[in-house]
């Protein structure tokens, strides 16, 4: 047997990247989440060739102080939590301190940033995990992260990617989900010069739904809201006559984080009862808020899966609130609606 030795930082980061950075859409998710955590009001995502040639995320958030920039690329270095107590009440989207070092281990990354206190901006460039440039630069307020040559040094990962069109649609999904979870931020996504997503950032969730689907679909959705001892739920859903054959148009948010949770989406569908045909699913967004102490977001590197306490209370609440809301809708005779 070989002797035990510590892995180099680059190798350790590449191993972490294997979990966190699966594809271009993962890069977009991590960078936009960082922008949101930095209080950006406007976040613009610019792509070339489905993100394979370029992913650029421009934000007008807090920026990073010059002397902190190298730390942002160190694994497990984060400004978002300090102690184990913070881990149980995370309100930011990030906290693992893994995204930037992971991305920088499998791509060329340039970060430009300026805080409002700083006179100058700062540019920092990392290639293959090595810093190749760091200098003061004129800079706008906020942060721009540009990612080029993604997976150039991990050929297996590059080969496993789907067609650019498929990778692009996964990126659109990521941006749509972030837009639904953060209607108060203006998000845009541009691909090869064409705008694919654009939200106003005025906090109006129905307007975000109109931007993602179409105005008519969004206008016809019913809004619902309710609460129980531990949970507050609200959102917009289509009526049973407007459904899709996949549950992927039904976004579930927990404390403003998009998650995949079968029990929760089943509870929503159960609220429709027999009004929904088997294999059909509503379109819309369901937002769940609860004390962060009752949710463990640290079960999955990409944080797409979570563990909830009191899950039965939540699923009962969702089914009940949605069933009651749909029953109300049925009480209004068509003749009155058309008046």
**Which residues make up the interface to Mg ion (CB under 5 A)?**
34, 94, 99
Q: Which of 111, 86, 106 is nearest to 96 (CA)?
A: 86
Any contact of residue 115 with ligand ADP (CB under 6 A)? no
Query: At how many degrees (to 10) do helices 164-181 and 205-212 cross?
Result: 170
The only residue of 55, 99, 264, 306 in contact with ligand ADP, by rule CB under 6 A: 99
Identity of the residue, 72 or 294, whose beta carbon is nearer to ligand ADP in the bound complex: 72
* Interaction between residue 38 and ligand ADP (CB under 6 A): yes
Q: How far apart are CA 40 and CA 42, in angstroms?
A: 6
Q: Which of 13, 14, 26, 34 binds ligand ADP (CB under 6 A)?
A: 34
Q: Is 126 exposed, middle or buried (0-12, 13-18, 19+ CB in 10 A)?
A: buried
Contact flag: residue 106 with ligand ADP (CB under 6 A): no
* Residue with Cβ nearer ligand ADP (276 or 304): 304
Q: What's the 3-state SS for 84-103?
A: HHHHCCCCCCCCCCCHHHHH
Residue 90 tokens, joined: 């995370």
76: phi > 0 → left, psi -120 to 50 → alpha, else beta; which? Answer: left
Q: Which two tokens stand for residue 117?
A: 């206190």
Dist CA 41 CA 52 (whole Å):
26
How many of the other CB atoms lie within 10 Å of CB of 20? 20
- Residue 211: CB minimum distance to ligand ADP, A: 23
Contact 62, 72 (CB under 8 A): no
Q: Which of residues 142-171 bind ligand ADP (CB under 6 A)?
A: 143
Q: Does 109 bind ligand ADP (CB under 6 A)?
A: no
Residue 62 binds what, of Mg ion, ligand ADP, none (CB under 5 to 8 Å, by partner type)?
Answer: ligand ADP
Residue closest to Mg ion (Cβ): 94
The neighbouring-strand residues paired with 189 are: 45, 197
The residue (of 59 and 281) whose beta carbon lies closer to Mg ion is: 59
Backbone angles phi, psi at 175, to 5 degrees: -70, -40
Residue 43 in the binding site for ligand ADP (CB under 6 A)? no
Least CB distance to Mg ion at residue 285 (A): 23
Count of residues that bind ligand ADP according to CB under 6 A: 21
Closest approach, Cβ 199 to Mg ion, in A, equals: 21
59 touching ligand ADP, by CB under 6 A: yes
Q: Which does 78 bind (CB under 5 to 8 A by kind): Mg ion, ligand ADP, none?
A: ligand ADP
Distance CA(173)–CA(99), nearest Å, equals 19
- Choose which of 26, 78, 188, 319 interacts with ligand ADP (CB under 6 A): 78
* Chain contacts with ligand ADP (rule: CB under 6 A): 30, 34-35, 38, 59, 61-64, 72, 78-80, 94-100, 143
């Amino acid at each position: 047997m070989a002797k035990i030795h510590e892995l180099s930082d680059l190798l350790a980061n590449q191993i972490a990247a294997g979990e966190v950075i699966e594809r271009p859409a993962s890069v977009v998710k991590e960078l936009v989440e960082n922008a949101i955590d930095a209080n950006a009001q406007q976040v613009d995502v610019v792509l070339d060739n489905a993100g394979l040639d370029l992913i650029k995320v421009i934000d007008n958030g807090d920026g990073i102080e010059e002397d902190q920039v190298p730390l942002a690329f160190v694994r497990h270095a984060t400004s978002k939590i300090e102690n184990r107590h913070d881990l149980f009440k995370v309100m930011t989207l990030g906290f693992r301190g893994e995204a930037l070092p992971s991305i920088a281990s499998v791509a060329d990354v340039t970060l430009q940033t300026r805080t409002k206190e700083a006179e100058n901006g700062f540019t920092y460039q990392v290639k293959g995990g090595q810093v190749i440039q760091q200098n003061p630069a004129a800079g706008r307020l906020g942060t721009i992260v540009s990612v080029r040559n993604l997976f150039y040094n991990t050929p297996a990962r590059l080969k496993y990617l789907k067609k650019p069109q498929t990778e692009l649609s996964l990126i659109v999904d990521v941006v749509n989900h972030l837009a639904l979870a953060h209607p108060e931020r203006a998000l845009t996504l541009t691909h090869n010069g064409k705008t694919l997503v654009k939200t106003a950032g005025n906090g109006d969730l129905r307007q975000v739904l109109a931007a993602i689907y179409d105005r008519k679909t969004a206008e016809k959705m019913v809004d619902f809201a309710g609460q129980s001892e531990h949970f507050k739920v609200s959102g917009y859903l289509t009526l049973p006559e407007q459904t899709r054959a996949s549950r992927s148009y039904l976004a579930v948010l927990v404390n403003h984080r998009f998650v995949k949770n079968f029990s929760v989406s089943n509870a929503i569908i159960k609220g429709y009862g027999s009004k929904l045909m088997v294999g059909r699913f509503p379109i819309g967004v369901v937002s769940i808020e609860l004390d962060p102490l009752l949710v463990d977001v640290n079960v999955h590197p990409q944080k797409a899966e979570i563990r909830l306490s009191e899950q039965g209370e939540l699923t009962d609440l969702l089914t009940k609130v949605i069933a009651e809301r749909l029953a109300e809708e049925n009480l209004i005779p068509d003749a009155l609606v058309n008046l």
